[in-house]
């Protein structure tokens, strides 16, 4: 967190994208940063949630609404309004609206005192963008999170962060906070040893997210599906072919002369890390 704060404090960093797998904690970090650093911006902080938006043409109005700017269609009122205001604008979940990426970059270019902190499962690749990849949780933090969420779900939960099953579960889930939360929610009905065994089929096991989470985060399958939907048809085909590799694929493997004529079925034990910033389709586990 301190590292990102330092980055955000640099005058040249005015468009910062926190990127990483679904459920890696990008939104959580962005909101925490807004709370911690908001006072540095003379005209305050605004949050724009894009996850539910389906049309990139509406991004500018969503930003204007968040800032309380009266904006009539076709005018430049937003850029004008921002021209002399110092604002931190948190733009959450940009990944599914690529047509809006240049708009955000243009807004930052036109408004010299605007800083945009974006979150997305992918990098925008626009001028002026700085990228901070959100890393998975370290082992001890992951185990702490599991125990904390397990106790919340089941007060009688007796495990502690040093429990080998807890450590192994978190390792199996690659330290991904959302997957750890979904797994911890199962401790009321499954002992951790059984949970660990059943993690071979994560997509069918990690299905009981809290109802107040966005739909895409209530199950691991939905989380992966949201990322998969960002892919074009050929990208999806390439990824399905790559999924024959149970872990990291060698970078040269899929690009050579061998072109499989049919899409192989993915193995039943794809790792959640394969869902990292590179979108991954749900497998049939």
Q: What residues make contact with Mg ion under the rule CB under 5 A?
A: 26-27
The residue from 7, 13, 28, 106 that contacts ligand ATP (CB under 6 A) is 28
CA–CA separation, 143 vs 132, rounded Å? 24
User: Residue 209: which of ligand ATP, Mg ion, none does it interact with, CB under 5 to 8 A by kind?
Assistant: none
| Piece of the chain touching ligand ATP by CB under 6 A; list 26-34, 186-194, 246-254, 269-277 | 26-34
By beta carbon distance, the residue nearest ligand ATP is 25
Please, what is the minimum distance in Å from the beta carbon of residue 55 to Mg ion?
19
- For 65, 141, 149, 241, 273, the CA distances from 202, given in Å and listed in that order, are 39, 21, 18, 20, 12
Q: In sequence order, which residues have a C-beta less than 8 Å from that of residue 156 and are 6 or more positions away?
A: none
Site for ligand ATP in 220-279 (CB under 6 A): none
Site for ligand ATP in 52-91 (CB under 6 A): none
User: Residue 283: which of ligand ATP, Mg ion, none does it interact with, CB under 5 to 8 A by kind?
Assistant: none
Please, what is the minimum distance in Å from the beta carbon of residue 195 to ligand ATP?
18
CA–CA separation, 126 vs 109, rounded Å? 11
CA–CA separation, 3 vs 98, rounded Å? 27
Cβ contact 246:268 at 8 Å: no
The residue from 14, 16, 17, 22 that contacts ligand ATP (CB under 6 A) is 22
Collapsed DSSP state (helix, strand, coil) of residue 111:
coil
Q: x/- binding map, residues 145-184, to ligand ATP, per CB under 6 A?
A: x-------------------------------xx--x---
Please, what is the minimum distance in Å from the beta carbon of residue 146 to ligand ATP?
10
The residue whose two tokens read 């997305």 is 120
Cβ contact 56:100 at 8 Å: yes
CA–CA separation, 211 vs 281, rounded Å? 23
Collapsed DSSP state (helix, strand, coil) of residue 55:
coil
Residues making contact with ligand ATP (CB under 6 A): 20, 22-28, 93, 119, 121, 137, 145, 177-178, 181, 216-217
């Amino acid at each position: 967190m301190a590292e990102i704060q330092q980055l955000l404090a640099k005058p040249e960093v005015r468009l910062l994208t926190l990127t990483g797998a679904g459920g890696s904690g990008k939104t959580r970090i962005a909101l925490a940063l807004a709370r911690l650093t908001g006072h540095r911006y003379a005209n305050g902080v605004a949050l724009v949630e894009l996850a539910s938006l389906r049309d990139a043409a509406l991004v500018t109005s969503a930003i204007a609404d968040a800032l309380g700017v009266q904006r009539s269609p076709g005018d430049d009122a937003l850029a004008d309004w921002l021209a002399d205001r110092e604002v931190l604008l948190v733009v959450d979940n940009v990944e599914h609206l690529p047509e809006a990426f240049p708009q955000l970059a243009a807004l930052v270019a036109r408004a010299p005192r605007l800083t945009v902190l974006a979150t997305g499962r992918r990098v925008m690749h626009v001028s002026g963008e700085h990228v901070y990849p959100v890393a998975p949780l370290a082992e001890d933090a992951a185990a702490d999170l599991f125990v904390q969420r397990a106790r919340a779900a089941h007060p009688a939960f007796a495990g502690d962060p040093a429990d080998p099953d807890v450590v192994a579960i978190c390792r199996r889930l690659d330290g991904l906070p959302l997957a750890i939360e979904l797994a911890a929610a199962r401790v009321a009905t499954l002992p951790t040893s059984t949970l660990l065994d059943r993690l071979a089929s994560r997509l069918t096991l990690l299905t009981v997210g809290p109802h107040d989470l966005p739909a895409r985060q209530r199950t691991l399958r939905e989380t992966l599906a949201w990322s998969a939907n960002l892919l074009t048809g050929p990208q999806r085909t390439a990824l399905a072919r790559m999924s024959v590799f149970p872990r990291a694929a060698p970078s040269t493997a899929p690009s050579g002369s061998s072109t499989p004529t049919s899409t192989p079925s993915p193995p039943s034990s794809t790792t959640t890390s394969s869902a990292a910033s590179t979108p991954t389709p749900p497998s049939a586990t």
